Amino acid sequence: MITTHNPGFPRIGANRELKKAQESYWRGELSKSALLEEGRRLRKRHWELQKDAGLHLIPTGDFAWYDQVLNHSLMLGAVPERFTEADPGDIDTLFRMARGRAPSGEPAAACEMTKWFDTNYHYIVPELIKGQQFQLANISLLDETAEAIEQGFRAKPVLVGPLTWLWLGKVKGEPFDRLELLDSIVEVYGKVLTKLAEMNVEWVQIDEPILVLDLPLEWHQAFESVYNRLQSCPVKILLASYFGGLNGTTTTVVNLPVDGIHVDLTRDPDQLPALLDRLPAYKVLSAGVVNGRNIWRSDLKQILQQLAEAAERLGDRLWVAPGCSLLHVPVDLDNETGLDHELKSWFAFAKQKCEEVAVIGRVLTGGHQAQDPAVVKLLADSEQATSDRQQSQRVHNALVKQRVAALKGDQNIDHRLAPYSVRARLQQEKLNLPEFPTTTIGSFPQTREIRQKRLQFRKGELDEPSYIAAMQEEIRNTIKRQEALGLDVLVHGEAERNDMVEYFGQQLEGFAFTANGWVQSYGSRCVKPPVIIGDISRPEPMTISWSRYAQDQTRHPVKGMLTGPVTILCWSFPRDDVSRETSCQQLALALRDEVVDLENAGIGVIQIDEPAIREGLPLRKADWPEYLEWAVKSFRIAASGVKDETQIHTHMCYSEFNDIIEYIAAMDADVITIETSRSDMELLDAFEEFEYPNEIGPGVYDIHSPNVPGIEWIKKLMTRASQKIPGERLWVNPDCGLKTRDWPEVEAALKNMVEAARQLRAGSREPVRK
């Protein structure tokens, strides 16, 4: 029999139950016991969904109150000193590390957060110090596994591997080799595996996705010593890699002393032949053949053909699974009652992907299982959906294809008219900004009233004129608040926008949308990515009326706010029938039209956000140049249709810029704003060393935390920034948008930010920017 399993399941709930419970607890409206009970209810529901879908092994340990990497930090007792008085087993400790504050306890600096490999999920970065010792300090994984076993599920606990956890960690204080900490970490993992064995667990999945990276030799060598030590534990280990292929490490990995290997064939199908040739006769091969990162229905016929030889050669030693955890897709397509039949037939969410895995296993097992009517129907539906997509007029647009093809013949479409040095002078003459100009990243609090008006309009309970009037009132209010605070460059606040990507996708041809297709971005933050189903175009202007209205309310410059082509691509579910480059160029051309229209409407500052540009990087450095060239070109296509006097901004989220700084500079944005507060301005090192020529706004306070930064704190950060970047090229701004915060904390923080900038100017010899 072919064993079927799942590397991990979404934890937020089909209706975002986890988010709602977390936020109620943070507000003091839900007790801790009620929160914990909601977690138990969700876990049981998700285990039942997977078992009912037909999976044999059900993952445990994939549940997290905030992030699975943070779970493992607590498991290891890796709690930073500023939190050490707290109990690692207490959920409030977890929330304080992630958010800087929990319902109990004083505020403290939150741990750094960054992207999980090349996904849009964020993890909390482990903090590592020289000589650090680890111990089994949090047993949530053991407790949750016991829950599953007691409820009759065949549990397969999932752990982030010791080497991956260590690789993702960041050294604090005195520099040292992180591998010095490995022995102590592995000792804790050994204890966990032994305790799981005592619970009669047979298989444990240990995730080591860093195996698909370009690791230093000493890290590759460390795998053998780590798993030699862990092989003495009385459980079977399934070593899981995903997000790419093993490439040159295949021989090393298949010979590690583990009982099975999981690989992601959706990201690298070409690695299968080498695995079949080199896999030892006693090992299991888990084939990740259902895409865990996209919502397209699987082509089951193609997958069965792909696995035919493997099934013949391995027999029961072949397992079937999604390529990676289903954390990155919505929970259940059955909730999408508003989708038309054609679109719905093209999609599969987490529940449906589990069903696909089960069907593949049953067909490969053969016999009566393959003849089951439900199996036959799912195979037929898959084949029909594949055929329909290939032929649908919703997918193909000849005019869009022609416009993209014409890019090859236009050598100037991605270049501004003059270099930055000339543009900067013209822009300063027009805008007349002070030194250390203040601004925000774009969004202001999305209040309950704003969300209610949008919902009423969407349901038809509020007519369009009334909706527009309500949003204009919000814009007026936001402009007045910013003027009162003393900000220099204002924004309209984005009250009319539900999401920075979905809002634009809803106005572009080539996109489709779900009602409940939520996925977790970080903590309680959930997003509902649009789906790129076909060729992309802009049928009419998207933001002009709102931006023009905002500019009419003030004499201060108001930024036009757009999401960039790379970010729209990365934060949508992309097509799987064309290259990412093709879709990105289509988006760039559509946004170029919008940028030109904004300028013609009198908007002199336009921000094209690209927070996702680094996360789109391929995991192997050899593949970076090709991606970065088309990504940068796409941004420049979008930004380069305007006059030199128009100032182009861009914003990027938590990223390490050192190794791509030349491409960031090649984007040629007049102003770039970046998230730096959690890294204490360390991210500016790359810009200093490169001698980045344009203007920079390093974020001075962490909007992901409810903590209000003090004036001296902001001044300290900006003073540190001015030691790296000349003051005349520095802006003062928050780390990111303020959509998820409340007005009282926002106004308190911005008041301090503006006052800090005022004091910085007063201490400067240059009263006006150069």
Can you tell me whether residue 32 is helix, strand or coil? helix
d(CA 22, CA 10): 16
Tell me if residue 492 is catalytic.
no
List, in sequence order, every beta strand (DSSP E) within 638-685: 647-652, 671-674
Place of tokens 């006059």: 643
Estimate the crossing angle of helix 580-600 against helix 624-639, to 10 degrees: 20
Residue type present at position 588:
A
d(CA 48, CA 479): 50
The alpha carbon torsion through 297, 303, 304, 308 (nearest 10 deg) reads -170
Phi and psi angles of residue 563, each rounded to the nearest 5 degrees, phi first: -95, 135
d(CA 347, CA 389): 11
d(CA 509, CA 397): 10
Neighbours of 344 (CB within 10 A): 18
In the Cβ-directed half-sphere of 761, how many Cα atoms lie within 13 Å? 17
The 3 state secondary structure assigned to 596-648 is: HHHHHCCCCEEEEECCCCCCCCCCCHHHHHHHHHHHHHHHHHHHCCCCCCCEE
d(CA 93, CA 89): 8
Catalytic residue, from 262, 328, 651, 704: name it: 704
d(CA 757, CA 434): 10
Phi and psi angles of residue 671, each rounded to the nearest 5 degrees, phi first: -135, 130
Q: How are beta strands 260-264 and 203-207 bridged, if at all?
A: unpaired
CA 753 to chain centre: 28
Place of tokens 């898959």: 382
The alpha carbon torsion through 171, 176, 182, 184 (nearest 10 deg) reads -90
The residue among 211, 105, 125 whose CA lies nearest residue 166 is 125
CA 690 to chain centre: 27
Contact in structure between 752 and 712 (CB atoms under 8 Å) = no
Q: Which residues of 698-718 are buried (b: 16+ CB within 10 A; e: fewer)?
A: bbbbbbbbbbbbebebbbbbb
The residue among 565, 497, 486 whose CA lies nearest residue 532 is 565
Active site residues: 704
